[in-house]
Structure 1
């Protein structure tokens, strides 16, 4: 039996803009997320002069939660509208209508705390001449960034907070840093529900301070001697066991950092030395050191003594066995994660192992826009988030943030805002458990790989959520290596072996954030749907009877 359902084509949005002309209409949030029953203050920009009526609809997946309608007597360049946030935590849609035409869709996040769903960004400029702090936070709020890593803000490796008002960065002693600017950024972030995490190396100490405390250090055998483990001949590596003098010292420094105004601590490591590859000094005796044990004990001690959020960098996905310790899993993937399939499996396994949100610092050349879009889609579908947004108009491209962030096109920033809206809007759907359901159709693949359409199926008692990512026409499976743009595909016919179907809906992170009904053909052993368009990332939602 074929059910006749009207498909609301996304091209109506383009038609609306072309009819009315002028600058594009936009909606801006005043916070990165909202607390339940909070006031949502929206700024409406560039309403068409012909606007007589506006309507805002709040949705949960495909259900309407609330509507607000207003008649407009005079159009202003910027208009303010307030409405009440939903009472339950989760992701919501916000659809905006002008004269009964839907012209813009966004996502909306309702949380009790940012730690329930961390969406992470970065800051690197803490000098007095930096870009306006208020505008930076307003910019980040549009991408729902609710927490920020302040990279290399500290006075030194060891003594973190400077007693001076102005100082140079600890690594190169070149970048100017101002305590008043740091406080301004933290304060302006709080105005937007954006929280500030202080970057702190867990086991890096300034050389002279370390040499003054040999019992703090880790050692390696060189010839017949035990010598301190160093990092680029700049800093020395320390013992982070619970009873280490370094642990006691650095936790006190972290407390001072929190007293300064930061909301939590971002702990970094360098991926070495591995377990039993170095030695610590106890009672004048060198003993084999278990690095992962040291990490675990330090994280637990820091959390217990400060009760503040802690994020830890699992460099190259190591050490996996302690990935439940921090408040969020932060992974810098290196040689252990090279392909899109590697990325999918790494995030999925880390999320299953830790039961925590997974943030991936996947460094991609900012000019490789196709790679960025495809990688972001894979990370989102896998259940993760990507660290890329931070300083105004800059995208992160490498591990030394101040030198590895670059300006990108406005088209890419617009695309990424859609992707972030999409992830927020359907947050609970992305958290549904995956199911092994074999779909049939041209170029379909269960794994993200070159020249295929990757499909991922998640299912509960109410919905089947199918994500499709387009690798047809791409030139490589490696997410860091520049790829060709995938070929846009229309009217993709897919057979899905499911019955008892109520409705089928289509949406796309690229061009249609709201779900609209589409036709489907029921067969004895399943159903056939036609996906209207696949540029990079499109979605089918099946409502079960």
Structure 2
């Protein structure tokens, strides 16, 4: 018998019970809850087909359920405010035939707590339609009934429905009515995107900014929990209708903060997320009132190490969680195996670096380009892998996007650094995601040393290409010069039979420069987390 359980929510708030549904006729004989490697003592009761865990403290948890010889593993997290964490997915189909919510159910199972409703709107400059059924700006049939159903399903599942809204795009009809609201070149030409959308002036002194903020408020009043404030990455230098320069690096942060205040007048729990296309203008917008930093990734950010750099710099600038919209072009090609491996490695690289990736959504699909409606359906055989990678992200969030430790990846390892050394037969290690290596990322906090390993053996350093199956690295010895007592070394991976942490063999030797601990990881396929906990004396 195959055991499959489901949480009733994508995320839990403090004070909420955690409910887990069981298959028909199954009685759970054993339920174990974990935080990292540590079992959590909590009372679990069963009511019919539902396991009920009591309200738990803020944190990320793993769960193992055993029934006879069958076992199931999952993950969940508890937060005080859902805006503190953004695991972001997308929806893009809202036709009259799409009023059912299997897509939301799938996103709930993957623990996505925020979903962008892409191109749901009637027009870029008029978000809500004058009638129930309408054509979206690209001519696709859209039905408010489907949107309402999905909003309701999201909220019932602990998912925040976020409305797409471009910050400066208007149709030609509005431009003709208000040419004074537009952006212009220095030579006085109205600026357009793709030849049909007019760029509008977002400066606080321009009437457009009040207009679009009012539209954002209407969307939240309709039922959305926030606004995805989209930009197109261009232009960067513009002029207003009076031929005065408009500094977008000054106007954009003001617009973000005004939008956050506007939507919270409709719903105190609402928020905004701004698209800093290719990291522009990060320094200007990092400190704004957006819920998370969101970066749509484009060339020249082509390497795995570029993904790491985007995340690290954004975290340092903002102190916020970072979401990378990293669309996987390999899904456009015939090599589906290579595309699936590209997903595993990009997800591993982004999450190990401390970010999250927007790439999954709809009903079992992945984004293959920036027009979300052109998504790629995932093969059923790959869905269990996707589930495990999403479970791993939530279960080990303390080692991933919640890890605020100091980044010592290139000061402790590699080059002349000898604090942390890696050793394995026929295996090269790197600190900057070089081709055909095992890439290490390392963070240190007061009580934990966190090492993330991503296997690029047999592949180049470019993330958005089809990938070969990495050559497994075996018997990796990790030597750590750390003159502190260590309680243990542990490892976990989404690639093995179990998501549970395993205790690694650990030895210790004394040297004139302090103690050196050696742990051994038996195998690395795609991605593994290794951590040393510093507590009581063990050797």
TM-score norm. by structure 1 comes to 0.88
Conserved in 2, the CA contact under 8 Å of 1:25 and 1:46? no
Once the two structures are superposed, the pairs formed by residues 211-250 of structure 1 within 5 Å of their partners are: 211-221=176-186, 225-250=187-212
Asked if 1:529 is matched to 2:519, the reply is: yes
Deviation at 1:336, TM superposition (A): 3.4
Distance 2:7 2:46 in 1: 21
Deviation at 1:300, TM superposition (A): 1.5
Once the two structures are superposed, the pairs formed by residues 173-252 of structure 1 within 5 Å of their partners are: 173=139, 175-221=140-186, 225-252=187-214
SS in 2 for 1:198: strand
Deviation at 1:429, TM superposition (A): 2.5
Once the two structures are superposed, the pairs formed by residues 310-321 of structure 1 within 5 Å of their partners are: 310-321=272-283
Structure 1 residue aligned with 2:472 = 488
Among 344, 347, 366, the alignment partner of 1:376 is: 347
Distance 2:386 2:161 in 1: 22
Among 520, 525, 528, the alignment partner of 1:538 is: 528
Deviation at 1:503, TM superposition (A): 1.3
Distance 2:422 2:89 in 1: 39
SS in 2 for 1:455: strand
SS in 2 for 1:514: coil
SS in 1 for 2:501: strand
SS in 2 for 1:181: helix
Distance 2:99 2:438 in 1: 41
Distance 1:52 1:199 in 2: 43
Asked if 1:406 is matched to 2:406, the reply is: no
Which consecutive aligned stretches of 4+ in structure 1 deviate over 6 angstroms post-superposition? 69-72
Q: Deviations over 1:411-470 (max 9, x none)?
A: 432222212211211222221312232223141211222111111222222222211111
Structure 1 residue aligned with 2:417 = none
Among 106, 123, 142, the alignment partner of 1:139 is: 106
Deviation at 1:305, TM superposition (A): 2.5
Once the two structures are superposed, the pairs formed by residues 478-517 of structure 1 within 5 Å of their partners are: 478-499=462-483, 500-511=485-496, 512-517=498-503
Structure 2 residue aligned with 1:428 = 398
Structure 2 residue aligned with 1:362 = 326
Structure 2 residue aligned with 1:349 = 313
Deviation at 1:67, TM superposition (A): 4.5
Among 101, 115, 119, the alignment partner of 1:148 is: 115
Deviation at 1:69, TM superposition (A): 6.7
Deviation at 1:46, TM superposition (A): 7.6
Conserved in 1, the CA contact under 8 Å of 2:100 and 2:149? no
Structure 2 residue aligned with 1:59 = 34
Q: Deviations over 1:180-210 (max 9, x none)?
A: 1111111111110111111011000111211
Deviation at 1:68, TM superposition (A): 4.9
RCO greater where, 1 or 2, for CA within 8 Å and sep 6 or more? 1
Cα root mean square deviation, aligned: 2.0
Asked if 1:89 is matched to 2:71, the reply is: no
Distance 1:244 1:259 in 2: 24
Conserved in 2, the CA contact under 8 Å of 1:444 and 1:455? yes
Once the two structures are superposed, the pairs formed by residues 12-23 of structure 1 within 5 Å of their partners are: 22=1
Distance 2:60 2:70 in 1: 20
Asked if 1:460 is matched to 2:427, the reply is: no
Deviation at 1:490, TM superposition (A): 2.4
SS in 1 for 2:308: helix
Once the two structures are superposed, the pairs formed by residues 156-171 of structure 1 within 5 Å of their partners are: 156-170=123-137
Among 247, 250, 257, the alignment partner of 2:219 is: 257
Deviation at 1:260, TM superposition (A): 1.1
Cα distance change on mapping 1:329 and 1:60 into 2, 3 Å: same
SS in 2 for 1:494: strand
Among 319, 324, 334, the alignment partner of 2:287 is: 324
Distance 2:221 2:423 in 1: 58
Asked if 1:127 is matched to 2:127, the reply is: no
Asked if 1:287 is matched to 2:244, the reply is: yes
- What residue ranges of structure 2 are gaps of 5+ in the alignment? 265-269, 414-420
Distance 2:532 2:199 in 1: 53
Distance 2:105 2:27 in 1: 29
Conserved in 2, the CA contact under 8 Å of 1:54 and 1:70? no
Conserved in 2, the CA contact under 8 Å of 1:242 and 1:301? no
Distance 1:30 1:61 in 2: 22
Distance 1:497 1:483 in 2: 35
Deviation at 1:537, TM superposition (A): 0.7
Distance 2:146 2:469 in 1: 41
Write 1 or 2 for the structure with the bigger share of strand: 1
Structure 2 residue aligned with 1:4 = none
- What residue ranges of structure 1 are gaps of 5+ in the alignment? 1-21, 73-77
Distance 1:532 1:270 in 2: 46
Conserved in 2, the CA contact under 8 Å of 1:53 and 1:70? no
Distance 2:314 2:293 in 1: 8
